[in-house]
Chains A and B, each alone.
Chain A
Amino acid sequence: MKSRHKRALIIVAALVVIGVAALLILNALNSNIALYVTPSEVAAGKAPQGQAFRIGGMVKDGSLRRDGLTVHFVITDLVKDIPVAYTGILPDLFKEGKGAVIQGRMNTNGEFIASEVLAKHDENYMPPEAKHALEQAQKNGSNK
């Protein structure tokens, strides 16, 4: 085989690898992205349907209620409240009155079934997404 052909073949092989990878990536990105939504947006029905998404906000004071291993609480941006249910062990930093990010889906009763609760590893740290949700809500409130 001529070296010109050889080089062409190697380049084609590399392109095929990259092309397949690109397909995989696009496909995976499409189905594995979780959108951040604020509690106000959820209340306004802007949450994605039939797909997992994330809510950032504050855990409302006095809303935490246990039922065996299942925990019920309310996540809020101080304007709208969304009830949440989670089964399992909460992270160490999960506390009423602190920021949290949760991932999951809405059920038909308007309750958010969380599959994952993320609380960051520093007591004074506010997740930017939670902060963003509070700021958004405040901005919209002052516009009205």
Chain B
Amino acid sequence: MIPEFGHYALILALCVSLIQGVLPLVGAHQGRREWLMLARPAAQTVFLLLGIAFAILAWSFYVNDFSVLYVAEHSNSQLPVVYRLGAVWGGHEGSLLLWVFLLSTWTIMVAQLSKALDEFMVARVIGVLGLVISGLLLFVLTTSNPFMRLFPAAQDGRSLNPLLQDPGLVFHPPMLYMGYVGFSVAFAFAIASLLSGRLDAAWARWSRPWTTAAWIFLTLGIALGSWWAYYELGWGGWWFWDPVENASFIPWLVGTALLHSLAVTEKRGGFKSWTVLLAITAFSLSLLGTFLVRSGVLTSVHAFATDPRRGIFILIFLTLVVGSSLGLYAWRAPKSSLGGKFSLSSRETFILLGNVFLVVSAGSVLLGTLYPLLIDALHLGKISVGPPYFNSVFVPIMIPLLVLMGIGPWTSWKNSDLLVVIKRLWLAGLAAVLAGISIPLMMGEFTWLAGLGFLLAFWVIASGCLQIIRQAKAGKPTRSFIGMQVAHLGIAVFVIGVTMVGAYQEEKDVRMSAGETVSVGGYQIRLQDVNLVPGPNYQAMRGTFLLTKNGITQATLYPEKRNYFSSTMPMTEAAIDTGLTRDIYVSLGEELPDKSWAVRVYYKPFVDWIWGGCLLMALGGILAISDKRYRIQLKKQAS
């Protein structure tokens, strides 16, 4: 009976979200105040109903209700409780419910935190979000109902894919979705302002912290996914240009461009149409990402079982959203595109150039991701576009962007003297060149690519440090200034990690028997033995490896090869010794006929800096939205 309540809650939520979507928008158009007033209560009701539905689904997992098809397909009575709860979003239906639930969470956050905003604007924003929610709920109810019953009930569930039985899974999807879905707020603000015809600095001021918040979640979500692939999938890489990774990365690139463009709109009133276009694009790309992942048109680790109806529904929804918002844009967007006057050597120009690079790189990734689909759809054959394409296109576009990053923050709005900037920056340039030459030499091998990587990273770091010192001398720097510097520093840290791994990692696949030693990156790894070890819902072959350097023991590593009882597929569980300057990564392949083992050993210098850089970027975002001006705004609202 309880799952049916969940189903009813979803149906009710759809009805109320239609009210939330239609009445406030019509009310704002016709000036009917009583209709506007419906926006907040409707949004709260939708949130409550979706919360109930979500809790019921989680409950069904908790009590192992295998009469619910979705539970039977993704859980198992032997599955530990934590993973049973993580399994709520371990499949298609549940993860979509999570999507909608998070969207509604963002909506009530907006409703709560924007009381100081003009009520017409708030009603429009909530209305647009309501329309998006109802579209997605319709999708959930017609094609992917998580409360579908299974009759007769299954004896036991099919269990969660062993790959997903990991703490990383519990956090990765909610984080990523918070980001994806969060761009809907920027989108709703953009549409609302187009509808009202009031595209002004106030609009940018309001949507900026929301965009930053979404961007923070997306950054963390992508980083978590990358880290998870690194240690759990047993691949040892941190990014594979897998179509689904790209589907989350493209909105990130456009979202990053949007953040910067919003700054110009807020401070200088410029780039209005461009900012609106970016907001629409970022959200559309988030939807496209959902379409690519959920429809199963792409083959990747993330593709769940496919159902063509789903793909068609999302495609129609996507067309409606993109078509109507671009139509509205063409009709209402302000005609003067660049806004306030600025000279060529101004911060506006640098941000604009940075935006162009970000958008072009997003376009190139999008093209590489969609190209195989396009070729297949035109019956020109089946192809795959691999990592070399993305590396050879994406990396060159990032080089000038990093150069700009060192200069842009030094310029002032409207007009600045580039000569003065260069005079202040020569020291940073010198430091960068020195780092670019000396670090590769210290690592033992000079390559141009490594030199370039360090040069750019240290260019950004040195420029940032110089500016922080300058600002600290001149007075107390604002949090949004520090936030910007920390985020840029994060990029530099990330670049260092990528460069180090790219140029100096060592990967070895070897055959090892007990007692044998292999050396990698100056470390010796000795296989002690391999034993059979029982787990809660699996059995594992566990290897014991001793990691030493110059005869001194550093760590003991226990990689496993697991066999889950509920599945015939084996699972590789790598063992990693993590350090600030290097990771040693050991994973067991298969047992060879002569009782020796195939073993994969990696030396990954500075690999954790990649995710550390992402954390710094997110921290920068958090600092930026905790800036004084937003806190004052909140306080004003509270009183």
Q: Give residues in A with beta carbon < 8 Å to B.
A: 1, 3, 6-7, 9-10, 13-14, 17-18, 21, 24-25, 27-29, 31-36, 54, 66, 68-69, 87-90, 92-93, 103, 120-123, 127-129, 132
Contacts and interface: CB of A to CB of B under 8 A. Distances in A.
Interface string B291-306: 0000000010100000
Given A24-B392, A89-B600, A129 B385 contact: no
A28 B570 contact: no
Contacts of A88: 509
Given A3-B341, A24-B364, A127 B384 contact: no
Contact of A21 (B233, B364, B384, B385): B364
Given A1-B344, A29-B371, A90-B590, A121 B356 contact: no
B393 A17 contact: no
A22 B484 CA distance: 31
A28 B386 CA distance: 10
A17 B233 CA distance: 37
A7 B338 contact: yes
A6 B299 contact: no
A56 B356 CA distance: 39
A34 B393 contact: no
B383 A35 contact: yes
Interface string B163-175: 1000000000000
Interface of B: 161, 163, 233-234, 299, 301, 338, 341, 343-344, 349, 352-353, 356-357, 360-361, 363-364, 367-368, 371, 381-386, 388-389, 392-393, 396-397, 509-511, 567-572, 587, 589-590, 592-593, 598, 600
A25 B383 contact: no
B593 A33 contact: no
* Most chain A beta-carbon neighbours within 10 Å: one of B234, B341, B382, B572: B382
Contacts of A122: 161, 569
Contact of B301 (A25, A27, A31, A121): A121
A6 B385 contact: no
Given A13-B353, A25-B367, A120-B301, A89 B590 contact: yes
B252 to A, nearest CB: 18
B59 to A, nearest CB: 27
A130 to B, nearest CB: 10
Contacts of A6: 343-344
Given A33-B389, A69-B510, 19 more contacts: A7-B338, A10-B349, A10-B352, A14-B356, A21-B361, A21-B397, A24-B364, A24-B392, A28-B389, A29-B389, A32-B392, A33-B371, A34-B385, A36-B382, A69-B511, A69-B598, A123-B569, A129-B382, A132-B382
* Most chain A beta-carbon neighbours within 10 Å: one of B383, B393, B511, B589: B393
B240 to A, nearest CB: 11
B393 A121 contact: no
7 closest Cβ pairs, A-B complex = A89-B589, A36-B382, A32-B389, A32-B388, A123-B569, A28-B392, A88-B509
A13 B355 CA distance: 12
A24 B396 contact: yes
B472 to A, nearest CB: 34
Nearest to B364: A25
B126 to A, nearest CB: 36
A60 to B, nearest CB: 19
B384 A34 contact: yes
Contacts of B341: 3
B254 to A, nearest CB: 15
Contacts of A33: 371, 383-386, 389
A17 B570 contact: no
Given A21-B393, A25-B364, A34 B383 contact: yes
A113 B344 CA distance: 55
Given A25-B393, A36-B384, A121 B364 contact: no
A31 B381 CA distance: 17
B339 to A, nearest CB: 11
Nearest to B389: A32
Contacts of A123: 567-569
Contact of A68 (B363, B511, B589): B511
Contacts of B299: 120, 127-129
A93 B360 contact: no
Nearest to A94: B590
Contacts of A54: 384
Contacts of B510: 69
A92 B569 contact: yes
A111 B357 CA distance: 44
Contacts of B356: 13-14, 17-18
A35 B389 CA distance: 14
A92 B570 CA distance: 6
Contacts of B383: 33-36
Contact of B572 (A7, A28, A87, A92): A92
A28 B388 contact: yes
A122 B162 CA distance: 9
A27 B163 CA distance: 37
A28 B393 contact: yes
Contacts of B389: 28-29, 32-33
* Most chain A beta-carbon neighbours within 10 Å: one of B234, B367, B567, B569: B569
A54 B234 CA distance: 22
Contacts of B386: 32-34, 103
A66 B384 contact: no
B393 A24 contact: yes
A9 B344 contact: yes
Nearest to A5: B344
Nearest to A65: B593
B354 to A, nearest CB: 11
Contacts of A128: 299
Contact of A121 (B161, B385, B396): B161
Nearest to B338: A7
A35 B364 contact: no
A139 B349 CA distance: 59
A17 B385 contact: no
Contacts of A66: 592-593
